[in-house]
């Protein structure tokens, strides 16, 4: 049996590092990436939607950018094949619902076809829908079976309450995602400042195929290919130091090897200078998440009930930490 | 404007080739693959379901195995990343509905989360569902909005009519897919013979990462990896010559380069010894499909109405060719 809710606060030293030398190189790598890979055709229109959403939210409103799902990396220019990862978007979709319930407005930057907030709890239509019968159902409508209707009704009511507080923006590729991350986080930094959270639940590819190594057409199947990957520039560092330094930034570390997880979480905070890492293991990510803060605080969240969302506990904890962050930055 | 329906029959020479020498090597490569990569834990149970499905269908029933969606190739043993392709399963899902309408029973071997028959035509729940109001809706049920209800009702009625004629089996990886293809096609050959169609709409990876080159844990993101891929053994040859020689086998060729499409379709028929190739280009695959038969006949299907499924025309054409095939093999 797990202990319930947030617990076991410990302190590890996450010291400041001198970043004056690394600055220029990290920024240059990002600039080079953005020069090589152009934004999506919808980029300008999407950023305009973000600006209107922030404006309509009004002053004093907290806003979170939730990134969700995996980024794909094309292997060909006219894309047929790509490298992807197993991320379903479950974490981001569930977290979005709890951020909304906590009073945040949410920019939901998600992989197309990934799991969606609210929709995730609605049973498949062929199992749950039936043609209406009986004297009061004129014209033969279609309804949700009574065994599912209470559950579906609750979801629809929650969605109806929050639907104006969520802005959906979708991406497919690593390039589209990174352009949106830069553009949206810059808007949040400028217009929302310390009241903004950036919650990086998307699983971003660590590698990509440079345009120079990409064939125009589908790789033919009679040659045995070798794929030379380039490293994706580490965008959290420019995010935290250049694009959105005022915002409260939470990144995720997912590993399969428990031996290196905490070490990697602490190293990420040192290297990227952001606010918090949520560390989890592939096999236990639905029952345990460990939050490591820049301040050195470590808090482990255990989910006592497997049929409940651990994100409910996670967002409650984060909301408190974000409140403390706003209070220490009173100019916001 | 396209010409309507099937048209323009031409003849190209698809000559028989001597396969006595290549036989052993092709079979050996498949055996080696199956030795390296074990079947899914559900394999035996799934094959039992196939056996019962065939048995319940009765004699004289035509049965088609429709494969649908893409196969993923893991890059790590405890999988986080994989190579995938853009296949949504749209072709296989639509074709399944028209095979059912044509009187076939369907074994739908599909990638998990790919597009599903019937479900594909139901609008998203958050847009189409509403809480019922009015005096006759006791207890506050949930119904499909009237603007969508006629369409959804038709889909539910079609599904209800055909749901006992379809067997769903899902896969994720290339290995799972190939094991199922071998197992199910062998059952069809033994029990259904010439009345069986194998319709290979799945997008099968041409490459995979051999177990020997796969790391145990997630590839770390601070090294620049090179992925050495091995060629997937060409399974259509053993399928057509060893596992299911009596069945009518249709494969698909999808290319982005129109200059090599027909040449590759004809080469596939020579090499693999199966019955038909459906050739299409990535950009026009929803409006034009060209069928190339072992006999040398070429028939181009053009879809005159973009809002209708081209699969309706494709399956009509295939049903006729399958009937002719059964008639030339009267022992079936």
Task: Decide if B235 contacts B174 (C-beta within 8 A).
Answer: no
Residue A242 has pLDDT above 50, yes or no: yes
CB A240 within 8 A of CB A198: no
Q: Is the pLDDT of residue B222 over 80?
A: no
Q: Which of residues 294-323 of A touch B (CB under 8 A)?
A: none
Q: Looking at A55-69, A201-215, B6-20, B179-193, which range is the least confident one?
A: B6-20
| pLDDT recorded at residue A66 | 98
Lowest-pLDDT choice from A12-26, A186-200, B92-106, B220-234: A12-26
Residue of A nearest to B223 (CA): A231
* 8 Å CB contact of B86 and A78: no
Per-residue pLDDT, A263: 92
Q: Is B118 helix (H, G, I), strand (E, B) or coil?
A: coil
Considering only residues 118 to 157 of chain A, which have any Cβ-Cβ distance to chain B shorter than 8 Å?
A: 118-119, 122, 124-126, 129-132, 136-137, 139-144, 146, 149, 152-153, 156-157
Structure tokens, B303: 């879809």
Closest by CA position to A96, among listed A116, A69, A114, A122:
A116
Name the residue among A118, A144, A217 with its Cβ closest to that of B141.
A144
A37 in B contact zone (CB under 8 Å): no
Judge whether A310 and A22 are in contact, CB under 8 Å. no
User: How does the average pLDDT of chain A come out, rounded?
Assistant: 89
B257 contacts in chain A (CB < 8 Å)? 217-218
Residue labelled with tokens 């080159």: B213
B225 interfacial to chain A (CB closer than 8 Å): yes
Q: Which residues of A touch B142 (CB under 8 A)?
A: 143-144, 149, 152-153, 156
Chain B residues lying within 8 Å of A118, measured CB to CB = 126
- The predicted pLDDT at position A70 comes to 96
Lowest-confidence range among A19-23, A100-104, A268-272? A19-23
| A224 contacts B231 by C-beta, under 8 angstroms | yes
Distance from CA of A231 to the nearest CA of B (A): 6
Domain-by-domain residue ranges, chain B? 5-219+226-327
- ipTM of the predicted assembly exceeds 0.90: no
Number of neighbouring beta carbons within 10 Å of residue A191: 16
When pLDDT is averaged across residues A232-257 and rounded to a whole number, the result is: 94
Q: Is A75 on the interface with B (CB under 8 A)?
A: yes
pLDDT band at B218 (very low <50, low <70, confident <90, very high): low
The reply to whether residue A81 touches residue B85, judged by beta carbons under 8 angstroms, is yes
Write down the H helix ranges in chain B: 20-36, 43-57, 90-101, 125-128, 146-162, 174-191, 236-238, 261-272, 310-327
Tokens 């026009």 correspond to B284
Helix H or strand E encompassing A324: helix A310-327
Hey, what are A193's tokens? 């400042």
Residues within 8 A of B (CB atoms), A 186-215 only: 205-207
Q: What is the number of other CB atoms lying within 10 angstroms of the CB of residue B42?
A: 14
| A256 pLDDT above the threshold of 90 | no
Q: Is the pLDDT of residue B254 over 80?
A: yes
Q: Which of A240-244, B116-120, B302-306 has the lowest mean pLDDT?
A: B302-306
Q: Is the pLDDT of residue A214 over 70?
A: yes
pLDDT at A144 over 90: yes
Pairing of strands B129-131, B142-144: antiparallel
Q: Which residues of A touch B144 (CB under 8 A)?
A: 129, 141-143
- The two tokens of residue B288 are 């034009």
Q: B5-219+226-327, what's its fold?
A: Rossmann fold (3.40.50)
Chain A residues whose beta carbon lies within 8 Å of the beta carbon of residue B213: none
Taking only the tens place, the pLDDT of each residue in A74-129 is 988 766 789 998 899 999 999 999 999 999 999 999 999 999 999 999 999 999 99
pLDDT tens digits, one per residue of A161-204: 999 999 999 999 999 999 999 999 999 999 999 999 999 999 99
Percent of chain A at pLDDT > 70 equals: 87
- A81 part of contact set with chain B, CB < 8 Å: yes
Write down the pLDDT at residue A46: 98
Mutate to test the interface with A, among B121, B125, B258 (most CBs of A within 10 A): B125
Express each pLDDT in B55-69 by its tens digit: 999 989 999 999 999
Contact assignment for B149 to A141 by CB distance below 8 Å: yes
A240 pLDDT more than 90: yes
B255 interfaces chain A, CB cutoff of 8 Å: yes
Express as a percent the part of chain B with pLDDT over 70.
Answer: 87
B281 neighbors B261 (Cβ within 8 angstroms): yes
pLDDT at B129: 96
- Among chain B residues, CA nearest to A71: B81
The per-residue pLDDT for B77 is 78
Q: Does A254 touch chain B (CB under 8 A)?
A: yes
Question: Does the CB of A84 have a partner CB in chain B at under 8 Å?
Answer: yes
Subunit contact A152:B142, Cβ cutoff 8 A: yes
Mean pLDDT of chain B: 89
- CATH code for residues A5-327: 3.40.50.10300
Integer Cα distance of A224 and B206 in angstroms: 9
Nearest CA in chain B to A134: B136
Q: What is the pLDDT of residue B205?
A: 93
Side-chain half-sphere exposure of A146, counting CA atoms within 13 A: 6
Pairwise pLDDT comparison (A268 vs A22), residue with the higher score:
A268
């Amino acid at each position: 049996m797990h202990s319930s809710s947030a617990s076991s606060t410990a302190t590890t030293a996450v010291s400041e590092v001198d970043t004056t030398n690394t600055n220029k190189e990290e920024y240059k790598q990002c600039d080079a990436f953005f020069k090589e890979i152009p934004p999506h055709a919808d980029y300008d229109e999407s950023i305009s939607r973000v600006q209107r959403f922030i404006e309509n939210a009004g002053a004093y409103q907290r806003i979170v950018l939730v990134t969700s799902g995996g980024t794909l990396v094309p292997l060909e220019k006219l894309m047929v094949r790509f490298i992807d990862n197993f991320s379903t978007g479950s974490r981001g979709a569930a977290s979005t619902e709890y951020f909304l319930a906590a009073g945040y407005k949410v920019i939901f930057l998600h992989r197309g076809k990934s799991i969606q907030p609210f929709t995730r709890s609605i049973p498949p239509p062929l199992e749950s829908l039936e043609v209406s019968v009986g004297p009061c159902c004129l014209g033969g409508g279609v309804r949700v079976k009574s065994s599912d209707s209470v559950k579906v009704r609750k979801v629809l009511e929650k969605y109806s309450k929050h639907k104006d507080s969520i802005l959906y923006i979708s991406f497919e590729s690593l390039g589209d995602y990174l352009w949106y991350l830069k553009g949206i986080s810059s808007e949040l930094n400028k217009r929302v400042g310390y009241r903004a959270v950036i919650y990086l639940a998307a699983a971003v590819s660590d590698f990509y195929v440079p345009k120079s190594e990409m064939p125009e057409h589908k790789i033919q199947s009679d040659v045995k290919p070798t794929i030379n990957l380039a490293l994706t520039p580490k965008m959290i560092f420019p995010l935290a130091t250049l694009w959105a330094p005022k915002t409260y930034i939470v990144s995720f570390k997912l590993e399969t090897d428990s031996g290196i997880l905490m070490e990697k979480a602490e190293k990420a905070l040192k290297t990227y200078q952001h606010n918090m890492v949520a560390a989890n293991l592939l096999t236990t990510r639905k029952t345990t998440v460990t939050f490591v803060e820049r301040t050195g605080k470590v808090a482990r969240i255990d989910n006592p009930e497997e049929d409940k969302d651990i994100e409910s506990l996670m967002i409650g904890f984060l909301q408190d930490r974000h409140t403390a962050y706003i209070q220490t930055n009173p100019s916001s």
